[in-house]
């Protein structure tokens, strides 16, 4: 169980918190997944000569990189600069982030013995707690900090496949051929994720997002049997902390109800499903929730007029959902992360358009 933190800020006028609580925000809150990173020249400069994973363990650097997009784009939320594999690395798993590719595990987890030997994170990551303190000192009281973790399924996929996968074939095969091994792995990863998030909550983050990025590859049945119970345990552990909990995955149109039912307050929706239809699926399964999304990140390349049209359409979809009682609020975001080649100016312009439309 994750208890409320004495470091938690009391924010009275943050648009994100107003939208999540069902109040009318002063402007539409917006943040973008992957708002920190390669699209920013100042990020490339700050990271020069430092590996991705090393940068996640340097408190002042991770704080600076987290704040860069907040300063440049005037987004309403900072997202902690870290990676989903950071808790695995700190626990002692031999995993690295290969530039241009992503997380790669030296010894993939394939058998019962591998699972039994997989280290579990026992202590929060102290460097991240220090970084969070610096970030909070650099934010205004209308800007929130979102902490995050990867969900057990998405982490398991990197460990089992050994790296990024377009099919998740070994992961699915393990679930079905060795369900006991699968469940043992998910137990361990769930513990790690809870300890990792507990440290962020204790350090004072204002909200948390659980990224189950690749859950959309699963059938509804497999999601329900092999994945949802563990994500639900994480959301239940977070509940006493009293901060908003966001759940996100890509191509999860068919799973939105089940992902909402895992216990989130806010459900991320990718661009494939209109927000009002997403809200119906969510409300039917779990009651009305806050929606987060869902501009197609590729459209940041299409120029401000296209973005303006899409922003209006998405806001109309969200308004319809709220008016019909199937959603209680809307946080603007992309349907997935900022693409690395996106011009920084296009991101700033999109934020301006979203705020203007409020």
**Annotated binding-site members for substrate:** 34-38, 83, 158, 213, 336
Bond into 142 cis (ω within 30): no
Query: Does residue 37 interact with ligand 1CP by CB under 6 A?
Result: yes
Tell me, yes or no, if 47 is annotated catalytic.
yes
Residues that contact ligand 1CP, how many (by CB under 6 A): 21
- Asked if residue 23 lies in contact with residue 218, where contact means CB atoms within 8 angstroms, the answer is no
Query: Does residue 36 interact with ligand 1CP by CB under 6 A?
Result: yes
**Which range in 88-96, 146-154, 280-288, 302-310 contacts ligand 1CP by CB under 6 A?**
146-154
Helices (H) and strands (E) in the chain, counts: 16, 9
- Asked if residue 106 lies in contact with residue 214, where contact means CB atoms within 8 angstroms, the answer is no
**Which range in 32-40, 215-223, 300-308, 345-353 contacts ligand 1CP by CB under 6 A?**
32-40
Tell me, yes or no, if 83 is annotated catalytic.
yes
- Asked if residue 270 lies in contact with residue 295, where contact means CB atoms within 8 angstroms, the answer is no
Q: Which of residues 15, 25, 34, 331 is near ligand 1CP by CB under 6 A?
A: 34
Bond into 268 cis (ω within 30): no
**Which range in 79-87, 109-117, 298-306, 323-331 contacts ligand 1CP by CB under 6 A?**
79-87
Tell me, yes or no, if 23 is annotated catalytic.
no
Tell me, yes or no, if 170 is annotated catalytic.
no
Q: Which of residues 27, 42, 58, 102 is near ligand 1CP by CB under 6 A?
A: 102
Give the distance from CA 306 to its chain's centroid. Answer: 26
- Asked if residue 162 lies in contact with residue 101, where contact means CB atoms within 8 angstroms, the answer is no
Least Å from the CB of residue 155 to ligand 1CP: 9
Query: Does residue 164 interact with ligand 1CP by CB under 6 A?
Result: yes
Catalytic residue among 18, 43, 47, 76: 47
Distance CA(160)–CA(65), nearest Å, equals 30
Catalytic residue among 158, 230, 245, 265: 158
Q: Which of residues 99, 167, 177, 341 is near ligand 1CP by CB under 6 A?
A: 99
Query: Does residue 81 interact with ligand 1CP by CB under 6 A?
Result: yes
Tokens of 55: 């940068």
Query: Does residue 204 interact with ligand 1CP by CB under 6 A?
Result: no
Tell me, yes or no, if 38 is annotated catalytic.
yes
Query: Does residue 153 interact with ligand 1CP by CB under 6 A?
Result: no
Comparing CA positions, the residue from 78, 79, 76 lying closest to residue 13 is 76
How many Cβ atoms are within 10 Å of 272's Cβ, its own excluded? 14
Buried b (16+ CB within 10 A) or exposed e, 279-298: bbbbbebbebbbbbbbbbbe
Give the distance from CA 37 to its chain's centroid. Answer: 15
Q: Which residues contact ligand 1CP (rule: CB under 6 A)?
A: 33-37, 52, 79, 81, 83-84, 97, 99, 102-103, 148, 150, 154, 164, 211, 213, 337
């Amino acid at each position: 169980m994750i208890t409320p933190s004495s470091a938690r800020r009391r924010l009275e006028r943050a648009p994100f918190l107003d939208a999540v609580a069902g109040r009318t925000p002063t402007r539409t809150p917006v943040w973008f997944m992957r708002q920190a990173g390669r699209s920013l020249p100042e990020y490339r400069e700050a990271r020069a000569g430092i590996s991705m994973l090393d940068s996640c363990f340097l408190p002042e650097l991770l704080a600076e990189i987290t704040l860069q997009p907040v300063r440049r784009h005037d987004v309403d939320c900072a997202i902690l600069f870290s990676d989903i594999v950071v808790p695995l690395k700190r626990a002692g798993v031999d995993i690295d982030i290969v530039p241009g590719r992503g997380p790669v595990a030296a010894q993939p987890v394939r058998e019962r013995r591998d699972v039994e030997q997989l280290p579990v994170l026992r202590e929060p990551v102290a460097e991240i707690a220090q970084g969070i303190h610096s970030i909070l000192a650099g934010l205004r009281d209308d800007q929130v900090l979102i902490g995050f973790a990867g969900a057990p399924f998405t982490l398991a996929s990197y460990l089992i496949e050994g790296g990024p996968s377009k099919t998740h074939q070994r992961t699915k095969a393990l679930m079905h051929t060795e369900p006991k091994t699968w469940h043992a792995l998910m137990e361990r990863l769930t513990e790690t994720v809870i300890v990792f998030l507990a440290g962020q909550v204790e350090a004072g983050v204002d909200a948390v997002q659980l990224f189950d990025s690749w859950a959309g590859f699963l059938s509804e049945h497999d999601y329900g049997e092999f994945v949802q119970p563990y994500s639900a345990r994480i959301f239940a552990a977070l509940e006493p902390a009293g901060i908003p909990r966001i759940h996100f995955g890509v191509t999860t149109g068919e799973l939105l109800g089940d992902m909402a039912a895992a216990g989130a307050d806010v459900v991320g929706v990718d661009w494939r499903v209109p927000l009002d239809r997403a809200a119906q699926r969510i409300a039917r399964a779990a009651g009305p929730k806050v929606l987060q999304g869902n501009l197609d990140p590729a459209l940041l390349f299409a120029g401000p007029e296209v973005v303006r049209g899409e922003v209006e359409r998405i806001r109309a979809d969200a308004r319809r959902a709220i008016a019909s009682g199937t959603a209680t609020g809307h946080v603007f975001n992309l349907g997935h992360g900022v693409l690395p080649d996106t011009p920084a100016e296009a991101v700033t312009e999109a934020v301006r358009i979203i705020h203007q439309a409020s």
